[in-house]
Structure 1
Amino acid sequence: MLRTWNVSLPARIFGVVSVIAGVLMFVAVIITVVGYGEPVDGAQLGALALGSLFIIAPLLATLRPRVTLTDTELIVRNPMRTYQVALADVASVDNGYSGLVVVLRDDTKLQVWAVQKSNLARLLNRQTRSDEVAAAIRTQAQAVRQKPGRRTGSAK
Protein backbone atom coordinates (compact mmCIF):
# COMPACT_ATOMS: atom_id res chain seq x y z
CA MET A 1 0.00 0.00 0.00
CA LEU A 2 1.25 3.45 -0.90
CA ARG A 3 -0.90 6.52 -0.28
CA THR A 4 0.21 10.11 -0.70
CA TRP A 5 -1.54 13.31 0.30
CA ASN A 6 -0.46 16.74 -0.92
CA VAL A 7 -1.57 20.20 0.11
CA SER A 8 -5.22 20.80 -0.87
CA LEU A 9 -6.03 21.84 -4.43
CA PRO A 10 -7.16 25.40 -3.52
CA ALA A 11 -3.91 25.97 -1.61
CA ARG A 12 -1.85 24.63 -4.51
CA ILE A 13 -3.73 26.91 -6.94
CA PHE A 14 -2.98 29.85 -4.63
CA GLY A 15 0.67 28.79 -4.57
CA VAL A 16 0.89 28.67 -8.37
CA VAL A 17 -0.83 32.07 -8.73
CA SER A 18 1.56 33.55 -6.14
CA VAL A 19 4.58 32.14 -7.97
CA ILE A 20 3.32 33.60 -11.26
CA ALA A 21 2.77 37.00 -9.58
CA GLY A 22 6.28 36.88 -8.15
CA VAL A 23 7.81 35.99 -11.49
CA LEU A 24 5.89 38.81 -13.21
CA MET A 25 6.99 41.30 -10.55
CA PHE A 26 10.58 40.13 -10.82
CA VAL A 27 10.56 40.35 -14.64
CA ALA A 28 8.89 43.80 -14.59
CA VAL A 29 11.62 45.21 -12.34
CA ILE A 30 14.39 43.65 -14.44
CA ILE A 31 12.86 45.04 -17.65
CA THR A 32 12.55 48.48 -16.04
CA VAL A 33 16.16 48.48 -14.83
CA VAL A 34 17.61 47.13 -18.08
CA GLY A 35 15.30 49.17 -20.34
CA TYR A 36 16.04 52.56 -18.82
CA GLY A 37 19.66 51.96 -17.91
CA GLU A 38 19.10 53.68 -14.58
CA PRO A 39 20.89 52.54 -11.42
CA VAL A 40 18.80 50.30 -9.18
CA ASP A 41 17.09 52.27 -6.41
CA GLY A 42 15.64 51.16 -3.09
CA ALA A 43 12.10 50.73 -4.41
CA GLN A 44 13.31 48.44 -7.18
CA LEU A 45 15.39 46.40 -4.75
CA GLY A 46 12.33 46.09 -2.53
CA ALA A 47 10.25 44.93 -5.50
CA LEU A 48 12.92 42.36 -6.39
CA ALA A 49 12.95 41.09 -2.81
CA LEU A 50 9.14 40.93 -2.72
CA GLY A 51 9.07 39.15 -6.08
CA SER A 52 11.61 36.64 -4.78
CA LEU A 53 9.50 36.09 -1.67
CA PHE A 54 6.40 35.53 -3.84
CA ILE A 55 8.32 32.87 -5.75
CA ILE A 56 10.09 31.02 -2.92
CA ALA A 57 7.51 31.06 -0.10
CA PRO A 58 4.62 29.49 -2.08
CA LEU A 59 6.94 26.89 -3.55
CA LEU A 60 7.99 25.84 -0.06
CA ALA A 61 4.70 26.23 1.80
CA THR A 62 2.07 25.10 -0.70
CA LEU A 63 3.74 23.06 -3.41
CA ARG A 64 6.36 21.00 -1.54
CA PRO A 65 4.60 19.53 1.55
CA ARG A 66 3.42 15.93 1.22
CA VAL A 67 2.76 12.96 3.47
CA THR A 68 3.19 9.41 2.20
CA LEU A 69 2.01 6.30 3.99
CA THR A 70 3.57 2.96 3.04
CA ASP A 71 3.13 -0.49 4.54
CA THR A 72 5.89 0.09 7.09
CA GLU A 73 6.72 3.79 7.27
CA LEU A 74 5.45 7.33 7.20
CA ILE A 75 7.28 9.84 5.02
CA VAL A 76 6.62 13.47 5.90
CA ARG A 77 7.90 16.10 3.48
CA ASN A 78 7.63 19.58 4.99
CA PRO A 79 8.89 22.84 3.47
CA MET A 80 12.44 22.52 4.75
CA ARG A 81 12.92 18.89 5.74
CA THR A 82 11.79 15.34 5.03
CA TYR A 83 11.25 12.76 7.79
CA GLN A 84 11.01 8.99 7.45
CA VAL A 85 9.44 7.28 10.45
CA ALA A 86 8.77 3.61 11.06
CA LEU A 87 5.02 3.18 11.63
CA ALA A 88 5.76 1.01 14.65
CA ASP A 89 7.17 4.15 16.31
CA VAL A 90 4.00 6.22 15.84
CA ALA A 91 2.28 6.61 19.22
CA SER A 92 -0.52 9.01 18.25
CA VAL A 93 -1.77 11.31 15.51
CA ASP A 94 -3.83 14.45 16.07
CA ASN A 95 -5.02 16.99 13.55
CA GLY A 96 -5.38 20.72 13.77
CA TYR A 97 -5.20 24.05 12.00
CA SER A 98 -1.44 23.97 11.51
CA GLY A 99 -1.40 20.35 10.30
CA LEU A 100 -1.24 16.86 11.69
CA VAL A 101 0.90 16.26 14.75
CA VAL A 102 2.49 12.82 14.81
CA VAL A 103 3.81 11.87 18.24
CA LEU A 104 6.40 9.12 18.29
CA ARG A 105 7.00 6.62 21.09
CA ASP A 106 10.03 8.63 22.26
CA ASP A 107 7.76 11.74 22.55
CA THR A 108 9.22 13.37 19.44
CA LYS A 109 6.55 15.44 17.67
CA LEU A 110 6.45 15.82 13.91
CA GLN A 111 4.32 18.51 12.31
CA VAL A 112 2.78 17.47 8.99
CA TRP A 113 2.16 20.56 6.88
CA ALA A 114 0.42 18.82 3.98
CA VAL A 115 -2.99 18.44 5.64
CA GLN A 116 -4.73 20.80 8.04
CA LYS A 117 -8.11 21.04 9.69
CA SER A 118 -9.70 24.46 9.80
CA ASN A 119 -10.92 25.90 13.06
CA LEU A 120 -14.42 26.13 11.55
CA ALA A 121 -14.43 22.42 10.69
CA ARG A 122 -13.29 21.63 14.22
CA LEU A 123 -15.99 23.90 15.71
CA LEU A 124 -18.70 22.33 13.55
CA ASN A 125 -17.30 18.84 14.22
CA ARG A 126 -17.01 18.16 10.48
CA GLN A 127 -15.09 15.26 9.04
CA THR A 128 -12.28 16.55 6.79
CA ARG A 129 -9.44 15.18 4.70
CA SER A 130 -7.20 15.75 7.72
CA ASP A 131 -9.35 13.36 9.77
CA GLU A 132 -9.15 10.75 7.01
CA VAL A 133 -5.35 11.02 6.79
CA ALA A 134 -4.97 10.81 10.58
CA ALA A 135 -7.24 7.75 10.70
CA ALA A 136 -5.30 6.04 7.89
CA ILE A 137 -2.00 6.64 9.68
CA ARG A 138 -3.42 5.39 13.01
CA THR A 139 -4.89 2.27 11.40
CA GLN A 140 -1.69 1.39 9.51
CA ALA A 141 0.51 2.08 12.57
CA GLN A 142 -1.69 -0.18 14.72
CA ALA A 143 -1.55 -2.94 12.09
CA VAL A 144 2.25 -2.71 11.95
CA ARG A 145 2.57 -2.83 15.76
CA GLN A 146 0.42 -5.96 15.88
CA LYS A 147 2.60 -7.84 13.37
CA PRO A 148 5.34 -10.04 14.78
CA GLY A 149 8.91 -8.97 13.95
CA ARG A 150 7.99 -5.32 13.57
CA ARG A 151 10.59 -2.77 12.50
CA THR A 152 11.38 0.10 14.84
CA GLY A 153 13.65 3.09 14.58
CA SER A 154 13.53 6.84 14.98
CA ALA A 155 12.80 9.81 12.75
CA LYS A 156 15.46 10.41 10.12
Structure 2
Amino acid sequence: MAVRIQEAAFGAGAELDRFTADAPGAGAVVSFTGVVRDVDGGLRHMLIEHYPGMTERAITALVSEAVTRWNLNDALVIHRFGQLAPGDPIMMVATASAHRADAFAAADFLMDYLKSRAPFWKKEVTADGADWVAAKDADEDALSRW
Protein backbone atom coordinates (compact mmCIF):
# COMPACT_ATOMS: atom_id res chain seq x y z
CA MET A 1 0.00 0.00 0.00
CA ALA A 2 1.38 3.39 -0.96
CA VAL A 3 0.16 6.97 -0.75
CA ARG A 4 2.21 9.69 -2.41
CA ILE A 5 1.35 13.37 -2.26
CA GLN A 6 3.76 15.13 -4.58
CA GLU A 7 4.34 18.21 -6.64
CA ALA A 8 6.27 16.39 -9.36
CA ALA A 9 4.58 14.97 -12.44
CA PHE A 10 4.30 11.20 -12.78
CA GLY A 11 4.01 8.82 -15.71
CA ALA A 12 0.83 6.79 -15.30
CA GLY A 13 2.09 3.97 -17.52
CA ALA A 14 5.36 3.58 -15.63
CA GLU A 15 3.54 3.77 -12.28
CA LEU A 16 1.07 1.10 -13.37
CA ASP A 17 3.84 -1.17 -14.67
CA ARG A 18 5.70 -0.88 -11.35
CA PHE A 19 2.51 -1.39 -9.31
CA THR A 20 1.53 -4.49 -11.31
CA ALA A 21 5.01 -6.01 -11.04
CA ASP A 22 4.91 -5.54 -7.26
CA ALA A 23 1.47 -7.19 -6.82
CA PRO A 24 2.20 -10.93 -6.98
CA GLY A 25 -0.84 -13.16 -6.84
CA ALA A 26 -3.16 -10.50 -8.20
CA GLY A 27 -5.56 -11.65 -10.88
CA ALA A 28 -6.86 -8.12 -11.51
CA VAL A 29 -5.33 -4.66 -11.56
CA VAL A 30 -7.54 -1.61 -11.99
CA SER A 31 -6.25 1.92 -12.46
CA PHE A 32 -7.64 5.39 -12.97
CA THR A 33 -5.71 8.52 -13.83
CA GLY A 34 -7.36 11.90 -13.46
CA VAL A 35 -6.17 14.83 -15.55
CA VAL A 36 -6.75 18.56 -15.18
CA ARG A 37 -9.60 19.46 -17.51
CA ASP A 38 -10.12 22.81 -19.17
CA VAL A 39 -13.04 25.04 -18.17
CA ASP A 40 -15.19 27.57 -19.97
CA GLY A 41 -13.16 30.71 -20.32
CA GLY A 42 -9.94 28.76 -20.76
CA LEU A 43 -8.06 27.42 -17.77
CA ARG A 44 -4.59 28.88 -17.44
CA HIS A 45 -3.77 26.60 -14.54
CA MET A 46 -5.15 24.98 -11.43
CA LEU A 47 -3.54 25.60 -8.07
CA ILE A 48 -3.88 22.74 -5.57
CA GLU A 49 -3.06 23.28 -1.91
CA HIS A 50 -2.96 20.88 1.02
CA TYR A 51 -1.68 20.56 4.59
CA PRO A 52 1.35 18.23 4.57
CA GLY A 53 0.99 15.43 7.07
CA MET A 54 -2.76 15.82 7.48
CA THR A 55 -3.42 14.99 3.84
CA GLU A 56 -1.22 11.90 3.87
CA ARG A 57 -2.82 10.61 7.10
CA ALA A 58 -6.36 11.11 5.77
CA ILE A 59 -5.68 9.36 2.47
CA THR A 60 -3.69 6.56 4.11
CA ALA A 61 -6.67 5.84 6.39
CA LEU A 62 -8.94 5.75 3.36
CA VAL A 63 -6.66 3.37 1.47
CA SER A 64 -6.34 1.14 4.54
CA GLU A 65 -10.12 0.89 4.71
CA ALA A 66 -10.30 -0.08 1.02
CA VAL A 67 -7.57 -2.72 1.38
CA THR A 68 -9.41 -4.53 4.17
CA ARG A 69 -12.95 -3.94 2.90
CA TRP A 70 -12.27 -5.44 -0.53
CA ASN A 71 -9.51 -7.93 0.20
CA LEU A 72 -6.93 -6.18 -1.95
CA ASN A 73 -3.42 -7.42 -2.56
CA ASP A 74 -2.23 -3.82 -2.88
CA ALA A 75 -3.36 -0.24 -3.50
CA LEU A 76 -1.72 2.95 -4.68
CA VAL A 77 -2.84 6.58 -4.56
CA ILE A 78 -0.79 9.39 -6.07
CA HIS A 79 -2.13 12.95 -5.83
CA ARG A 80 -0.34 16.07 -6.97
CA PHE A 81 -0.34 19.57 -5.55
CA GLY A 82 0.99 22.88 -6.81
CA GLN A 83 0.35 24.52 -10.16
CA LEU A 84 -0.99 22.21 -12.89
CA ALA A 85 -1.94 22.95 -16.50
CA PRO A 86 -4.86 21.50 -18.47
CA GLY A 87 -4.01 17.94 -19.47
CA ASP A 88 -1.55 17.38 -16.61
CA PRO A 89 -2.07 14.22 -14.57
CA ILE A 90 -3.51 15.22 -11.20
CA MET A 91 -4.05 11.87 -9.49
CA MET A 92 -3.88 8.12 -9.91
CA VAL A 93 -5.54 5.22 -8.13
CA ALA A 94 -4.50 1.61 -8.65
CA THR A 95 -5.85 -1.48 -6.93
CA ALA A 96 -4.83 -5.13 -7.17
CA SER A 97 -6.89 -8.11 -6.08
CA ALA A 98 -7.36 -11.79 -6.78
CA HIS A 99 -10.61 -10.96 -8.60
CA ARG A 100 -11.74 -8.00 -10.71
CA ALA A 101 -14.90 -7.18 -8.74
CA ASP A 102 -12.91 -6.28 -5.62
CA ALA A 103 -10.34 -4.31 -7.60
CA PHE A 104 -13.03 -2.30 -9.45
CA ALA A 105 -15.13 -1.64 -6.34
CA ALA A 106 -12.15 -0.53 -4.28
CA ALA A 107 -10.87 1.78 -7.02
CA ASP A 108 -14.32 3.30 -7.42
CA PHE A 109 -14.64 3.79 -3.65
CA LEU A 110 -11.22 5.47 -3.48
CA MET A 111 -11.99 7.79 -6.38
CA ASP A 112 -15.33 8.84 -4.88
CA TYR A 113 -13.80 9.60 -1.50
CA LEU A 114 -10.74 11.33 -2.96
CA LYS A 115 -13.02 13.57 -5.02
CA SER A 116 -15.15 14.68 -2.08
CA ARG A 117 -13.24 14.08 1.16
CA ALA A 118 -9.50 14.37 0.50
CA PRO A 119 -8.17 17.54 2.13
CA PHE A 120 -7.12 19.43 -0.99
CA TRP A 121 -8.16 22.95 -1.99
CA LYS A 122 -8.30 23.73 -5.71
CA LYS A 123 -8.32 27.11 -7.39
CA GLU A 124 -8.97 27.53 -11.11
CA VAL A 125 -7.14 30.44 -12.73
CA THR A 126 -8.52 31.77 -16.03
CA ALA A 127 -8.07 34.98 -18.01
CA ASP A 128 -11.08 36.32 -16.09
CA GLY A 129 -9.61 35.70 -12.64
CA ALA A 130 -9.39 32.95 -10.07
CA ASP A 131 -12.06 30.96 -8.25
CA TRP A 132 -11.92 28.20 -5.65
CA VAL A 133 -13.54 25.00 -6.86
CA ALA A 134 -16.75 24.36 -4.93
CA ALA A 135 -17.98 20.95 -3.85
CA LYS A 136 -20.50 19.41 -6.22
CA ASP A 137 -23.73 17.76 -5.07
CA ALA A 138 -23.14 14.85 -7.45
CA ASP A 139 -19.79 14.09 -5.79
CA GLU A 140 -21.42 14.08 -2.36
CA ASP A 141 -24.30 11.94 -3.63
CA ALA A 142 -21.83 9.36 -4.97
CA LEU A 143 -20.72 8.61 -1.41
CA SER A 144 -24.16 7.31 -0.44
CA ARG A 145 -23.52 3.98 -2.16
CA TRP A 146 -20.61 3.17 0.13
More helix by share: 1
TM over 0.5: no
- Pick the structure with greater CA Rg: 1
